[in-house]
C-alpha cells in the first residue's frame, strides 16, 4: 500500500524518516510517497487534508483534530529548544513592534501570542529568511526556530526572550513543538502500522547515527555538520520514540492554555492514536 508522507527538510525530520523511506527497516508492506516542505506549508496542506501522514505544528494540529490523530512516535518536544525572539539590539516588545514570524499556525507564533498578546503587527516569512529580515530592517524583531537559534549571534543579533524558557516557567512542562499525525479515516490496522514504523525508524536512527548523515546533509543546505548535529540532538529525543504520559500531558497543557486565551476553540476529539 502506498501512502503520502509529508515532513520538513530540517535535520531532525530527515534523521527520523531516513530509515523508513530508504528501506533500512521493515515497513510492513507500506511504501511512502514523500513530500518535503517547510512546516508552515505542511500545516496548510493538513488544513486541506492533502496528506495521509504529515509533520505539523502542534498549534496547527488544534485546527485539524477532526481529520487527523497524533502518533505516539516522531514528535518534537523538549526542554531548552523553544523559539527565540531576536532583534538588532536589546529592546522592549511593544504593541507596535513589527515582528517576522515563521507562519501564523506555527507553535512558535502561539507561544509569542501567549507571551505578548498585545502584539498584532506580524509578517510571515519563510523561517530561514527571518534573520535577514531583521538585519535589513524590514522588521523590528524576528521569531526564529530550527537551526537559526545556533546562528543568530554570529550574525550580530541579540535575544529578547527565549519563548521556550517562558513556556517552561509558566507551565512546568516540556515544550511541544511539532508532531506526526495520521488521517483519522485510515483503517486502524494501517494507523497502528504507521506508528510502529515511525518508532522503528527513530530507533534505527539512534542506533545507527551515521546512517542518515548523507540524507540529512543533502537537505541541510549550507548548514555546518556541527549545527546539523546540534539540531538533531535538540529536537530528537525520547519523546520522538514515544510521547509517553509526560509528552501527552505537555500537549494537552498547550491546548488548554490556547483555549484559555482564546487562540483556539474547545477540542472535543480524542487527540492521540
Helix, strand, or coil (residue 32):
strand
Residue 74, by phi and psi: left (phi above 0), alpha (psi -120 to 50) or beta? left
Determine the Cα–Cα distance for residues 180 and 70; give it in Å rounded to an integer. Answer: 6
Cell of 107: 507553535
Q: Which of 235, 253, 255, 247 minimizes the C-alpha distance to 273?
A: 247
Supply the pLDDT for residue 203.
98
CATH of the domain spanning 84-171: 3.40.190.10
Residue in the structure block whose three cell numbers are 514523500: 34
Supply the pLDDT for residue 160.
96
Write out the catalytic residue numbers.
Answer: 146
Profile the chain (273 residues) by mean pLDDT over runs of 10 residues: 96 97 97 95 96 95 96 93 92 93 91 91 94 96 87 93 93 93 97 98 97 93 82 92 96 90 85 93
Domain boundaries, the chain: 2-78+176-260, 84-171
Supply the pLDDT for residue 53.
98
Superfamily of domain 2-78+176-260: Periplasmic binding protein-like II (3.40.190.10)
Determine the Cα–Cα distance for residues 19 and 196; give it in Å rounded to an integer. Answer: 13
Q: How many residues does the chain have?
A: 273
Supply the pLDDT for residue 91.
86
Amino acid at each position: 500500500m502506498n501512502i503520502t508522507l509529508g515532513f520538513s527538510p530540517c535535520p531532525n525530520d530527515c534523521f527520523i524518516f531516513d530509515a523508513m523511506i530508504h528501506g533500512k527497516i521493515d515497513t510492513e508492506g507500506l511504501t511512502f510517497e514523500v513530500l518535503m516542505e517547510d512546516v508552515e506549508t505542511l500545516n496548510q496542506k493538513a488544513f486541506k487534508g492533502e496528506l495521509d501522514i504529515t509533520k505539523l505544528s502542534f498549534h496547527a494540529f488544534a485546527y485539524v483534530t477532526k481529520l487527523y490523530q497524533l502518533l505516539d512516535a516522531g514528535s518534537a518536544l523538549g526542554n531548552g529548544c523553544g523559539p527565540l525572539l531576536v532583534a538588532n539590539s536589546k529592546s522592549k516588545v511593544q504593541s507596535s513592534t513589527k515582528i517576522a514570524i515563521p507562519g501564523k499556525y506555527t507553535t512558535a507564533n502561539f507561544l509569542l501570542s501567549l507571551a505578548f498578546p498585545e502584539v498584532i503587527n506580524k509578517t510571515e516569512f519563510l523561517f530561514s529568511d527571518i534573520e535577514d529580515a531583521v538585519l535589513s530592517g524590514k522588521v523590528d524583531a524576528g521569531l526564529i526556530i530550527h537551526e537559526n537559534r545556533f546562528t543568530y549571534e554570529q550574525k550580530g543579533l541579540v535575544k529578547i526572550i527565549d519563548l521556550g524558557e517562558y513556556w517552561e516557567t509558566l507551565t512546568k512542562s516540556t515544550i511541544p513543538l511539532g508532531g506526526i499525525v495520521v488521517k483519522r479515516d485510515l483503517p486502524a490496522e494501517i494507523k497502528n502500522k504507521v506508528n510502529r514504523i515511525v518508532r522503528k525508524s527513530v530507533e534505527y536512527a539512534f542506533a545507527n547515527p551515521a546512517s542518515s548523515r548523507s540524507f540529512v546533509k543533502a537537505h541541510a543546505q549550507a548548514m555546518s555538520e556541527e549545527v546539523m548535529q546540534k539540531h538533531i540532538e535538540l529536537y530528537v529525543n525520547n519523546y520522538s520514540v514515544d510521547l509517553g504520559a509526560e509528552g501527552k500531558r505537555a500537549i494537552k497543557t498547550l491546548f488548554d492554555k490556547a483555549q484559555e486565551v482564546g487562540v483556539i476553540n474547545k477540542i472535543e476529539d480524542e487527540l492521540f492514536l
